[in-house]
A and B are shown apart, each in its own frame.
Chain A
């Protein structure tokens, strides 16, 4: 809200707050531009006539900034003449409100505009989601396969209903082995989601080719995927994490290669201890020589292996985003004493925040030796 009349600003702020809307008042366009560096609002309301920089100049500056130009903009003025109205609408303002309108009506109008923006936004998300579903574009499976020797589960939560860059999938070799993988295309919301399909296709094809050639080394597979990605002009500068896990059902052996992923967490049932399984590989697409290695270990009855994306560890604390890996691991520890650790995680982990809010989509892969 930008107006050099502090009385109007204060009154409107109070009224908006009483309707559950946070208003950020600025007494000049210069001050508003400073505020916009820290906070992106759902709507901007600005007076026309102000000293130093008027509403038109302010709007012109916003229109030149790709991050600010699409924020819905409403002009407020007492100079209610037709030429100003036309000028306002030419500058892609969504509305023009006469300052002489009683203030409670102005506030009601703003509330209605905000509600309709929110509805449009939800509708767009719903339509894109529906289109993705119709095209069978999914980055997580409906279910993971059931086995008598391993229990496989996953958790996945989108961020503010946007489909994001996280992906989870599996491939059965048909020869007593199962590949499981989880990853996160770096970036946020739609951009990351779009690229997650390219990554998923590469990963699935590389695994399939290696199965045909009886090459079941996770290190070789991840190295091949990385080599291809480093030559792909479309995916240049798009990076992804990957945890590739191969389960051998004959002997309970796990083979794992990671690419820039969070360490796996292994709960050893007989020792009641949670340990990290670290891999040396860099992010997929980072450098042609990805420094990939391969970890191998046996899972015993009751052991649980977890792989997860960084959305599980990042959150907002006191309004600031933070990485809190250690806090996340600490929180996990208590679930292993429960009768069904996965059900506890499913029920509590996604809501049991040690922070104010999550900031990315988040996924977790759960592997339990039965």
Chain B
């Protein structure tokens, strides 16, 4: 469900599911917990393959944001399709989780700059 790759000063985590929803949200949280426990504090989620994110998965993403913040880190997202980018803006999630249009060479999030 995820593939990780160390890039610059952050960990790039690709979500390999088309539907990010109730059925995989819990597994996503557990896997991300391991990624953070491995010492990755700055994380960028790559949503290139994701078509739809439901509210349960959005909650899981906020739970992951909180996990990174409790370790002095931060979470950002990249490669959102138009619908998901619009949703992030509509419900102001982009004020809590940085949305990248292009991958940065140095992590710049909202709480960690």
Q: Does A322 contact B (CB under 8 A)?
A: yes
A interface secondary structure, majority: loop
Give the residues in chain A near B91, CB-CB below 8 Å: 241, 260-262, 283, 310
B62 CB → nearest A CB, Å: 5
Are A187 and B86 in touch, CB under 8 angstroms?
A: no
Are B83 and A237 in touch, CB under 8 angstroms?
A: no
A256 and B87 CA atoms in complex are apart in Å by: 20
A325 and B86 CA atoms in complex are apart in Å by: 9
Are B56 and A283 in touch, CB under 8 angstroms?
A: no
B73 CB → nearest A CB, Å: 14
The residues in A between 309 and 333 inclusive whose CB is less than 8 angstroms from any CB of B are: 310, 314, 320-326
Give the residues in chain B near A359, CB-CB below 8 Å: 54
Are B56 and A323 in touch, CB under 8 angstroms?
A: no
Name B residues whose Cβ lies closer than 8 Å to a Cβ of A: 18-19, 21-23, 51-56, 58-59, 62-63, 66, 83-84, 86-87, 90-93, 95-96
A187 CB contact (under 8 Å) in B23, B51, B56: B56
Q: 5 extra interchain contacts, Cβ-Cβ under 8 A, other than A186-B58, A187-B56, A325-B90? A: A186-B56, A188-B56, A238-B59, A282-B96, A291-B92
Interface string of A254-280 (1 = CB under 8 A from B): 000000111100000000000000011
Are A286 and B62 in touch, CB under 8 angstroms?
A: yes
A-B contact count (CB 8 A): 78
Give the residues in chain A near B22, CB-CB below 8 Å: 187-188
Give the residues in chain A near B58, CB-CB below 8 Å: 186, 239
A360 and B23 CA atoms in complex are apart in Å by: 14
Interface string of A149-171 (1 = CB under 8 A from B): 00000000000000001000000
Q: Does A281 contact B (CB under 8 A)?
A: yes
Q: Indicate whether A323 sits within 8 Å of B86 (C-beta atoms), given known contacts A187-B22, A241-B91, A280-B95.
A: yes
Chain A, residue nearest B18 (CB): A320
A142 CB → nearest B CB, Å: 27
Most buried by B among A165, A310, A326: A310
A322 and B84 CA atoms in complex are apart in Å by: 9
Give the residues in chain A near B90, CB-CB below 8 Å: 262-263, 325
A323 CB contact (under 8 Å) in B62, B84, B92: B84
The residues in A between 18 and 35 inclusive whose CB is less than 8 angstroms from any CB of B are: none
Q: Does A78 contact B (CB under 8 A)?
A: no
